Chains A and B, each alone.
Chain A
Amino acid sequence: MRKNAILGAVLGAMLVTGTAVQAADREIVIGYQAPLSGDRSQYGEMFRNAAQIKLEEFNASGKLTGAKVAITFEDSKDDPKEARNIAHKFLDNSKIVGVIGDFSSTVSMAAGEIYAAEKMPQLSQTASHPDFTKLSPWQFRNITTQAFEGPYNADWIIAAGMKTAAVIYIQNDWGISALDGFVSGFKAKGGKITATEAFNPGNRDFRSILTKVARQKPDVIYLAMFYEEGAAFAQQREQLGIKIPLYGTSSLYSPKLIELGRESVEGLHLATTFTPDNPDPAVQTFVKEYAARFKSEPGMFAAQAYDAVGIMLDAVAKAGPSVTRESLRDALAATTGYPGVTGATSFDPVTREPAKALAKMMVKDGRFQVVTGP
C-alpha cells in the first residue's frame, strides 16, 4: 500500500502544480532556464541578475502597452535530463511565448530538440555549438561563435607580427569549435600551428602541457578555455618562467580572471563583445546598475544575458501584446542592429547567427584595457 500511497501523492502533487501555473493572471511570460545550482551555478546567477535588471527596465520603458512581461527562472543544474523536464514544463505553460537559455551547448541542445519539435522560440545567450542554430528555425543565440571569433583573433595575432601559435583548448564541444575556428583562420593567413593540446574539463594542472608546448617556442599561446582554467594556466606559466605571450578567447573575459591570476595574467590579449570600460552610455548604465545591486562588476556572461533578454523583450514588443510563439519567432528572426551592451546585434534571417563587433583588450596594470591597433 505504501508504494501506491507514494505514487498517489506524487501524481496528486503534479496535478496541483500543473493547475496552479494555469491559474496565474494575464501576462506574457518568458521562460529562462539556467544552472542556478551545481558546478556552473555562478553563470546562472549572473544571468538571473542581468535578466532582472533588463526586465525591470523594459517594463518601465513603456515599449509594450497592454501587457506585462515576466520571466520565470528554472534551475537546470547544467544537466541535460533536467533541461528536458524544464522544456516540457515551459511548453505546458501557455503564457510562455519564448525561452532563453540554457548555458552550455549540450544542455541547450538537449532542450532544443524538444523546442524544435514543439515550436517554441529559444534564444541562448551562450550556446556556441555550430549545430545549435541548425536544430530548427526556432533556435537563436546571442553569442558570436568561435567560427567568427577564431579567425578574428587569428587576424589580430598575424597583424601583430606573430607567425606561429600553440593552441590549448578545453576538451568539450565549445573547445573543439574554438580550436577549429582559430586554426583554420590562422592557417588561412599564413600562420603556422606548432601544437594543439587538449585538457579535460575540471583539470587545473597545466605544467606538463606548458613544458611540452614551450619546447617548440611558438610566438604565441592561444587559450580556448574559461577564466578558472585561464588563471591557473597563467600562474603555472609564470612559475615555469615561460615568457611566450598569451592570447585567448572571449570566454576568459571576467574580473575573476584578474582576481585569481593576479600579475600572472598581465599582458593577456583577448577580443570580447563587452567591456565595462566602454564609454557608451548604455554600457555605463548597465555596469553601474549591476554593481550597485550585486556588488560586483558584470562580466561578459552577464552582459550576454542582459542583451539576450533585451533582444527577446524587444521582439515581444515588436510582436505586440497578442504575441504568440510563432509571431515571436518571426520578430526574433527580424532583429537588426539591436543596440545592446555587447555591440549592435543582428540575426542573419537564414542562419539565425548573430553578427557583432568585437573590442580588442589586454590586461594592463591589473585591469582589462581596450587596445587600439595591433
Chain B
Amino acid sequence: MDVNVPDARLMPATLAPPAAFSGRGRRFAWTLLLLAVAFGAVPAAIVGTGSSYLAQIAITTMIFVILSASLNHVTGTAGLLSIGHAAFYGIGAYAAALLSTRLGLPFIVTLPAAGLIAALFGFLVALPTMRLVSIYFAVATLGIGEMIYVVLLNWVDVTRGPMGIRGIPPISLFGWQADTLLSRYLAVAVIAVACVWVLHRLTHSYYGNALRALREDDQCADSMGINVERLKIESFVVATFFAGIAGALLAHTSAYIAPDNFRFMESILILAMVVVGGLGSLPGAVVGALFMIVLPEALRDIGDYRMIAVGATMFLSILLLPKGMLAEGTALGFVRRSFSRGWATIAGGTPVGWK
C-alpha cells in the first residue's frame, strides 16, 4: 500500500533498545495468556466438567468471534456500516455444505472455498455500492442481505429451501476427524485464532491507519493519495471472506443448516457484538462476541425475563460505555504496548505508529 509513513518507521532504529526488549516480553506474556485461555483453560474446563453444553457454547462463541471481528474490520475500522453480514455467513455455510454433501470435497477444500465464494459475492456487492456512504451503504447491505436470505429460502433446487441441508460431515483433516466436541472445539478455535491474527495484522498497521483515515474523512484521505475506493472494496472483501469461513465452520460443526440460521436478526446480533465491544476495536469485537453469546446462556436460569435482562444489559452497557467495553483508542494503545506493535519513542514512553 501507498500509505506507509517512512519517518515513523525510521524513528526507532536509533532509539531505546531496552524499551523494545521489555515490550517484547510483554508481547509474549499476553500472546501466551490468550493462547493459554483458548487452548488450555477452555479445553480443561470442558474436560474437567465433562460438559458438552460448555463445549457447544465455546464452539458457537468462537464462530461468532470470527463474525464479529470480521464485521469490525469493515464497519468499525473502515467505517462502512454493513447490516447484511449474516448473509455472507450464510453463503459460506451453504458453499461448504453443498461442496461437501454434493461433491464430497474434504474440509481442507471446503473451508477456503467457502471463504473465497463469500468473498467473491462480497466483491460483486462492493463494486456498485462502494460509492455510497454512511446510512445509504447500510440500507444497500440490508437489501442485499435480505436478497441473499430470500434466495437461500426460495432456490429450492440448489439449497433445498427451508428444508435445509442435512448430513454435512464433521471437520476432518487428512484422515483425522473431529468427532468429539472437544476436538471440534479445538479445530474451530485454531481457525478462529488464525482469523483473528490475520485481522489483527491488517488492522494494527499503517494499512489499518489508512482504513481509519477513510472512515474519518474519505475525501480528505483521497486527497492525501489514499485509493479510497480500492481500500473500501478490500475491507469489504476481507470481511466477507472471514464471514464465509465462519459459515463453513458452522456447517461442519452442526451437520444441519437452514436459512433460519442467517436471518436479518443474526446480522443485528453480530453488529451488536461489535458495538457493545467497541466499534473499531478488534479486542472489543472479540469481547463483544463472548459477551453476547455467553450472557443469554448464563441468564437461562432466570427464565421468562432472560431476554429482557439481556436487552437491559446491552442498553446499560451502551449508556455507560458508549465507546464500547474496550474503546478503540484504549484498544490501539493496548495493542501497541502489550503486543509490542508500536514504536516506543523513548524508554517507557507512549508507543506510536506501527511496526
What is the CA–CA distance of A295 and B145 in the complex, to the nearest angstrom? 42
The docked-state distance in angstroms from the alpha carbon of A110 to that of B164 is 10
A84 to B260 Cα, complex, angstroms: 13
Q: Report the separation of the CA atoms of residues A188 and B326 in the bound assembly, to the nearest whole angstrom.
A: 65
Identify which of B55-63, B210-218, B225-233 touches chain A.
B55-63
**What's the Cα separation between A35 and B283 when bound, in Å?**
33
With an 8 A cutoff between CB atoms, is B339 at the interface? no
Which of B111-119, B291-299, B346-354 faces chain A? B291-299
Q: Which of A13, A80, A171 contacts B258 (CB 8 A)?
A: A80
Task: State in angstroms the CA–CA spacing of A38 and B258 once bound together.
Answer: 19
Instruction: Name the A residues within 8 Å of B156 (CB-CB).
Output: 176
> In the complex, what residues of B have CB within 8 A of residue A113's CB?
166, 254-256
**B52 contacts which of A10, A75, A92 (Cβ < 8 Å)?**
A92
Instruction: Contact check, B164 vs A17: say whether CB atoms are below 8 A apart.
Output: no
A200 touches B150 (CB 8 A): yes
Q: How large is the interface on A (under 10, 10 to 19, 20 to 34, 35 or more residues)?
A: 35 or more
A 110-157 contacts with B by CB, 8 A:
110, 112-113, 117-118, 129, 131, 135
Once the chains bind, are B261 and A81 in contact (CB under 8 Å)? yes
Known contacts A3-B283, A85-B56, A91-B53; is A10 also within 8 Å of B290 by CB? yes
State whether the Cβ of B54 lies closer than 8 Å to any Cβ in chain A: yes
Scan B152-175; emit 1 where CB is below 8 A from any A CB, else 0: 011010000111101000000000
Tell me the smallest distance from the CB of B307 to a CB of chain A, in Å. 5
Contact of B162 among A6, A81, A88, A176 (CB under 8 A): A176
Q: A3-B287, A77-B307 are in contact. Are A110 and B258 (CB under 8 A)?
A: yes
**Chain B residues within an 8 Å CB radius of A174:** 162
Q: B41 contacts the other chain (Cβ, under 8 Å)? A: yes
In the assembled complex, how far is the CB of residue B168 from the closest CB belonging to chain A, in whole angstroms? Answer: 9
Chain A, residues 1-43, CB within 8 Å of chain B (1/0): the string is 0111011001101110111000000000000000011100000
Q: Write the nearest CB–CB distance from B106 to chain A, whole angstroms.
A: 20
- A109 close to chain B: CB less than 8 A: yes
Q: Does A68 contact B (CB under 8 A)?
A: no
Q: How far is B291's CA from A74's CA once the two chains are assembled, in angstroms?
A: 20
Q: Residue A173 at the B interface, CB < 8 A?
A: yes
Residues of A within 8 A of B316 (CB): none
| CB pair B161 A131 closer than 8 Å | no
B53 touches A36 (CB 8 A): no
Contacts of B261 in A (CB 8 A): 80-81
- B49 / chain A contacts, CB cutoff of 8 Å: 14-15, 18-19
- Is A172's CB within 8 Å of the partner chain B? yes
Contact between A88 and B163, CB atoms less than 8 A apart: no
Tell me, yes or no, whether B304 is within 8 Å of chain A by CB.
yes
Contact with A along B244-270 (1 / 0, CB 8 A): 000000000011101011000000000
- With beta carbons under 8 angstroms apart, the residue of B33, B307, B326 that contacts A37 is B307
Are B41 and A11 closer than 8 Å at their CB atoms? yes
Q: Is the CB of A7 within 8 A of B52?
A: no
- Tell me which of A88, A110, A175 contacts B53 (CB under 8 A): A88
Interface membership of chain B positions 135-156, coded 1 if the CB is closer than 8 angstroms to chain A and 0 otherwise: 0000000000000001001101
Q: A residues within 8 A CB of B42? A: 11
CB of A335 closer than 8 Å to a CB of B = no
Whole-angstrom distance between the Cβ of A35 and the nearest chain B Cβ: 11
Any A CB within 8 A of the CB of B45 = yes
B131 within 8 A of A: no
**Are A84 and B56 CB-contacts (below 8 A) given A37-B304, A171-B153, A173-B164?**
yes
- Tell me whether B31 is interfacial, beta carbon within 8 Å: no
Q: By CB atoms of chain B within 10 A, which of A18, A84, A112, A198 has the most? A: A84
Contact with B along A70-108 (1 / 0, CB 8 A): 000111011111101101110110000000000010110
Q: B301 contacts the other chain (Cβ, under 8 Å)?
A: yes
Q: Which residues of B contact A36 (CB under 8 A)?
A: 304
Residues of B within 8 A of A3 (CB): 283, 286-287, 326
CA distance A34 to B52 in the complex (A): 20
Chain B residues, Cβ within 8 Å of A17: 298, 300-301
Output the residue of A38, A81, A92, A174 with the most chain B CB within 10 A: A81
- Asked if B37 is at the interface of the complex by the 8 Å CB criterion, the answer is yes
Given the contacts A74-B300, A113-B254, A171 and B154 also touching, CB distance less than 8 Å: yes
Report yes or no: A6 in contact with B53, Cβ–Cβ below 8 A: no
B51 within 8 A of A: yes
Q: Does B24 contact A (CB under 8 A)?
A: no
Contact of A129 among B163, B290, B291 (CB under 8 A): B163
B53 A89 Cβ-Cβ under 8 A: yes
Residues from chain A with a CB closer than 8 A to the CB of B163 are 129, 131, 173, 176
In the docked arrangement, what's the CA distance between A47 and B194, Å?
Answer: 44
- Residues 314-355 of chain B: 1 if any A CB is under 8 Å from the residue's CB, otherwise 0? 000000000001100000000000000000000000000000
The distance in angstroms between the C-alpha atoms of A255 and B80, with both chains bound, is: 48
Distance between Cα atoms of A55 and B209 in the complex (Å): 62
* Cα(A203)–Cα(B153), bound, Å: 14
Q: Which chain A positions have C-beta within 8 A of B26?
A: none
Bound-state Cα–Cα, A11 to B61, Å: 13
> Which are the 9 A-B pairs with shortest beta-carbon distances?
A88-B56, A172-B162, A88-B53, A173-B162, A88-B52, A89-B53, A106-B258, A113-B255, A37-B307
Q: List 17 A-B contacts (CB under 8 A).
A: A3-B286, A11-B41, A14-B45, A14-B51, A14-B54, A14-B294, A18-B54, A74-B300, A75-B300, A78-B260, A85-B56, A88-B51, A92-B51, A92-B52, A106-B258, A109-B258, A110-B254
Known: A11-B41, A88-B57, A176-B161. 4 other contacts (CB 8 A): A79-B260, A85-B53, A88-B53, A92-B52
